Amino acid sequence: MKNDCVFCAIAAGEIPSFKVYEDDDTLAYLDINPFSKGHVLVIPKAHSSCILDTPDETLSKLVLKVRDVAAKAKAALGCDGFNILQNNGESAGQTVKHLHFHIVPRYGAGPVDFESHKADMEELKALAEKIAAV
Ligand code: AMP
Ligand code: ZN
């Protein structure tokens, strides 16, 4: 665990999150400023700053979990598709320096935007419970 890392603190349960999936190595929870309804972040519990310093085993396990969580989210939300994003470095838009994959559900034929939106905490809670229940 890295001391000043917000996602390590979430993984350790020191900061609350809207969890959708957890196992020994992996945690998935809703993004608090979602691009779309049901925007999920998937992280390894072990800290690495980006994809380049992540050990093979951690990354291999994580990618499979990203797929599984995306399938759960799609089943729960009834989205038509989803983007998987993974930012490395400030110039790529990475703001949290703990490896994470974004799963961004997409609905219908609307514009594919990558803008953060303010979320309603009650709605996030309900969405997380719905995805976690799949
Ligand atoms: P990135 O720009 O790829 O580094 O994405 C970081 C994401 O983490 C952003 O979409 C933030 O909205 C999200 N985020 C930051 N803090 C939290 C938090 N405490 N709980 C959930 N999501 C967070
Ligand atoms: Zn961390």
Q: What is the percent of the chain with per-residue pLDDT over 70, rounded to a whole number? A: 100
Q: Is the pLDDT of residue 126 over 90?
A: yes
39 neighbors 104 (Cβ within 8 angstroms)? yes
Q: How many domains does the chain have?
A: 1
Q: Which sequence positions are flagged as catalytic?
A: 100
Confidence of residue 125 (pLDDT cuts 50, 70, 90): very high
Which structural domain, as residue segments, surrounds residue 21?
2-132
Q: How far is the CA of 92 from the centre of ligand 2 (A)?
A: 18
CATH for 10: 3.30.428.10
Predicted confidence (pLDDT) at residue 110 exceeds the cutoff of 90: no
Proportion of the chain in helix, strand, coil states, percent, rounded to 5: 35, 20, 45
Question: Is a pLDDT exceeding 90 seen at residue 30?
Answer: yes
Q: For 2-28, what is each residue's pLDDT tens digit?
A: 889 999 999 999 999 999 999 999 999
Give, for ligand 1, the residue of 31, 48, 49, 99 to mutate: max count of ligand atoms closer than 8 Å to Cβ. 31
pLDDT at 111: 84
